[in-house]
Chains A and B, each alone.
Chain A
Amino acid sequence: MLELRGVTVRFDSTRAVDGVDLDVPVGGVLAVLGPSGSGKSTLLRAVAGLEELAAGSVRYDGRDLARVPPHRRGFALMFQDGQLFPHQSVAGNVGYALRLRRTPARAVRARVAELLALVGLPGFEDRSTSGLSGGERQRVALARALAVDPRLLLLDEPLSALDRGLRERLARDLREILLAAGTTAVLVTHDHEEAFTVADRLALMRGGRLVQSGSLEEVWRSPLDAEAARFLGYATVLDHEAARRVLAAAGEPSSGGAERRVALRRSALRVVPGGPLRGRVRSARTTPDAVRLRVDVDGVGEVDAVAAPDEPVPPSGREVTLTVDLSRAARLGADRTRRPH
């Protein structure tokens, strides 16, 4: 397993990565989620051996890798833009690592064909890399990275450069390929959808520090703070009285005294007749999945809400009642998740 302890990377005077502790068990897929500039890519490069550690250690299967250069670590790194070698064909790229290991040509050909089939590009061997679409390039890069069964696969924003539909499809494929190959992987991304699709563990980074880590469920259900919640796709964070009202409306007893904060997704409040909350519609818009509204809820403030798409769109100013779907909400900073010190 991969163990990071106090990993710190300095660029001149700034600490790009600052004392990060993380574990990834064999066969696990960890997503490191953070905004750009949070140090997540630098962390990945440090694990690959491409950045020098100012402090801390990177261990794999108990062995400290400080003195092991990148090419001896047995890892593979896949870059955001693939970084395919333009002077080689698709087969040349995929078989690159195999040829470095002096694999016989027949075996290389067979393995390349197998890998291309795995990533959904059978028969692409003789194509030139310049003619590939963005999605195809990333698939080739993935096949290249998987060629020699790396003991750890590092993925640096592998899908960010692709458009939305392709990204969602490829994220599912990626998850299946990683599971099928049993690959241990660390994925770096700023897109929480991607993280949730591909990974089974999640780590949040901000300003070079690890903010929160745990299983998908743990982090998802209990973001550490408002910023973490927003980054995980929650639209609104309520505190004090507003939070208490929403929880009460959902039937959750107030746990008296302790300050509670609640993060809501845009679909956490639903317009239903006779709901426990009351509010006035500010604006409404029809989308394919639901009617999306902004509602000024009494004692809570202006928040997002949805209504079923088959109902008529309520006009602005209409009084509505709402119910709370707690599966679309999260309580912040609950103790179930491990907080780094």
Chain B
Amino acid sequence: MSGSAGRARGGLGIAALAALPLLVLGVFFVLPVAGMVGRGFVTDGRFDPVAVLEVLGRPRVHRVLWFTVWSSLLATAVTVALGLPVAYVLHRLRFPGRRLLRSFVLMPFVMPTVVVGVAFRTLLASSGPLGALHLDGTPAAIVAAMVFFNLAVVVRTVGALWEGLDRRREEAAAVLGASPLQVLRTVTLPALLPGIVSAASVVFLFCATSFGIVLTLGGLRYATVESEIYLLTTQFLDLQAAAALSVLQLVAVSLLLYAARRTRTGRDPALVRAAARDASRPVGRRDVAVVAVTVVVLALVVAPLAALVVRSLRVPGGWGLDNYRSLGRLGAGDSVLVPVSAALGNSWRVAVDATLLSMLLGVLVSLVVTRRPRGGPARRAVGVLDGLFMLPLGVSAVTLGFGFLVTLDRPPLDLRGSVWLVPVAQALVALPLVVRTLAPVLGSVDPRQRQAAASLGASPARVLLTVDLPVMWRPLLAATGFAFAVSLGEFGATSFLARPERPTLPVVIYQLVSRPDPSSFGTALAASVLLGAVTVAVMTLVERLRLGSVGAF
């Protein structure tokens, strides 16, 4: 076979693998987002950019933008500051129960944002355990919840890098006369910098686009761009303003993603560990300070969840399971159309569909973006596809849901009544996470292993089965768990798309906490505990697979 024919065949293979994801992305991502952009710039059938500028000139929009930026920056700084000592303790020190603590730290990240919001309100409410601090309804509460939610990103990303960092490099510095602090400053931190930058940019992204947390904790007073888009659409019906903000966010987030990509040098920091040996050592006397910080941070992680569980057991005049009993019924004079138990059933079914879809797409995309074809054009094409499939990470869930709403509502694509609308949206939200879990591991398989297998007489299918699958099955299960957890807790897009008679559990919880009566709030607490427990159960199953540090961003 000639070289050019081989290259052509390689290109065809990639095209075949990419076809389905591209089609799905085109119909369910590019189309809705383009439709949303169009709404912002077109008034009465005419191109009218002035309207966008008018929206961006509003004082409230300025307030929202400013709040989004400073709260996200602050939350990112605090998350990194608290995450580093925890990463050190969980990945560089050896002690019993370390694995358990590692999966424990991951828990907030997979918690549905609505549950996190409800937990912080419980903790900080004037009647709650930390009520004396009067933080309820303040920006501090929002920032604290953002930190809680994103701690795992820093601990995992930096921890994975730290774990693989050869201890002897630090020892070389120490023996040359560097004190422990000098070693940290001149050797360790520079080595960790790519991981810290990468984690910080992801955390900033998550904070700046956080929705469920801000909506449940900020109410109408404090809004990020994301929650403002929601309020503009659902409360004020100002679709043009919402579209303008969506466009702004799309541009800002894409720029941020691009910048983060540029700073990330060469290899994925999570995979440098591949060849490294275990660099952890037993806890010693000099670790007292860092262990103390970790204990405090972990206590802060426990506090909101504990408050949530305890408070859900409170009933008027004592303790009891009344809140849980009400999960199966409808409250009196309710705006909520279905009982919590039915909503959980909806959530479960939607999550199964969304997970299947995102795994199918995720596997195909990962296979495409990890190919390293010889030819220049084919390689460039892979690069473009890689960026393209990461785009959903940059586009907020609310924008996506809003885009679905405005574009998929007329023939030939009238999907308003379709049961597939919510799963498709959730699958797209989970897709970048799935790809980020699978692609780095797939890319770390030395191509020469595949070549060795092929030269020993293995067919392409056999190569996949005997070389790729043995390293991939754990990441595959992990990605499945992640996708399922994301889908169970997804609120941004679902809040737009779920039909009133078929809401998912996060939607129902939000409806319940928005109501003033205490019995609804009690039910919301019990429902939050239920949703949190289901999510944690799924993630615990995944964690049992000893994933180590795959799934870093």
Partner-B contacts on A (CB < 8 A): 45, 48-50, 69-79, 83, 85-87, 96-97, 100-101, 144-145, 147-148, 154
Contact A50 B175 (CB under 8 A): yes
Residues in B whose Cβ lies below 8 Å from that of A79: 168, 171-172
Contact A75 B173 (CB under 8 A): no
Give B176's nearest chain A residue, CB to CB.
Answer: A97
Enumerate the 7 nearest inter-chain pairs by beta-carbon distance, A residue then B residue, closest first: A77-B175, A97-B176, A83-B172, A70-B174, A87-B190, A83-B169, A71-B174
Give A52's nearest chain B residue, CB to CB.
Answer: B284
Residues in A whose Cβ lies below 8 Å from that of B271: none
B182 at the interface (CB under 8 A from A): yes
With A70-B171, A83-B169, A100-B182: A148-B176 Cβ-Cβ less than 8 Å:
yes
Give B172's nearest chain A residue, CB to CB.
Answer: A83
Contact A154 B166 (CB under 8 A): no
Residues in B whose Cβ lies below 8 Å from that of A87: 190-191, 193
Give B187's nearest chain A residue, CB to CB.
Answer: A85
B178 at the interface (CB under 8 A from A): yes
B: contact size bracket: 20 to 34
Complex Cα–Cα for A147 and B178 (A): 14
Complex Cα–Cα for A79 and B175 (A): 11
Contact A148 B169 (CB under 8 A): no
Give A144's nearest chain B residue, CB to CB.
Answer: B176
Give B183's nearest chain A residue, CB to CB.
Answer: A71
Contact A76 B175 (CB under 8 A): yes
Complex Cα–Cα for A48 and B173 (A): 12
13 additional A-B residue pairs with CB within 8 Å, beyond A83-B168, A145-B176: A69-B174, A71-B178, A76-B175, A76-B176, A79-B172, A85-B187, A97-B176, A100-B176, A100-B178, A100-B182, A100-B186, A148-B177, A154-B175
B43 at the interface (CB under 8 A from A): no
Kindly identify, within residues 178 to 212 of chain B, every residue whose CB is under 8 Å from any CB belonging to chain A: 178-180, 182-183, 186-187, 190-191, 193
The answer, among B168, B171, B176, for a CB contact under 8 Å with A96, is B176
Complex Cα–Cα for A96 and B179 (A): 13
Contact A71 B172 (CB under 8 A): no
Contact B182 A48 (CB under 8 A): no
Complex Cα–Cα for A50 and B176 (A): 12
Contact B169 A71 (CB under 8 A): no
Residues in A whose Cβ lies below 8 Å from that of B182: 71, 100
Residues in A whose Cβ lies below 8 Å from that of B175: 48-50, 70-71, 73, 75-77, 154
Contact A100 B169 (CB under 8 A): no
Residues in A whose Cβ lies below 8 Å from that of B173: 85, 96
Residues in B whose Cβ lies below 8 Å from that of A145: 176
Provide 23 A-B residue pairs closer than 8 Å at the C-beta atoms, listed in order of the A residue. Answer: A48-B171, A70-B174, A70-B175, A71-B174, A71-B176, A71-B178, A73-B175, A75-B175, A76-B175, A77-B172, A77-B175, A79-B168, A79-B171, A79-B172, A83-B166, A83-B168, A83-B169, A83-B171, A87-B191, A96-B176, A97-B176, A101-B177, A144-B176
- Rounded to whole Å, the gap between the CB of A315 and the closest CB of chain B is 41
- Rounded to whole Å, the gap between the CB of A98 and the closest CB of chain B is 9
Give A154's nearest chain B residue, CB to CB.
Answer: B175
Complex Cα–Cα for A75 and B177 (A): 8
Complex Cα–Cα for A72 and B179 (A): 8
Kindly identify, within residues 88 to 117 of chain B, every residue whose CB is under 8 Å from any CB belonging to chain A: none
Which of the listed residues B172, B178, B183, B190 has the most CB atoms from chain A within 10 Å of its own CB? B172
Give A12's nearest chain B residue, CB to CB.
Answer: B282
Which of the listed residues B169, B176, B182, B187 has the most CB atoms from chain A within 10 Å of its own CB? B176
Residues in B whose Cβ lies below 8 Å from that of A147: 176
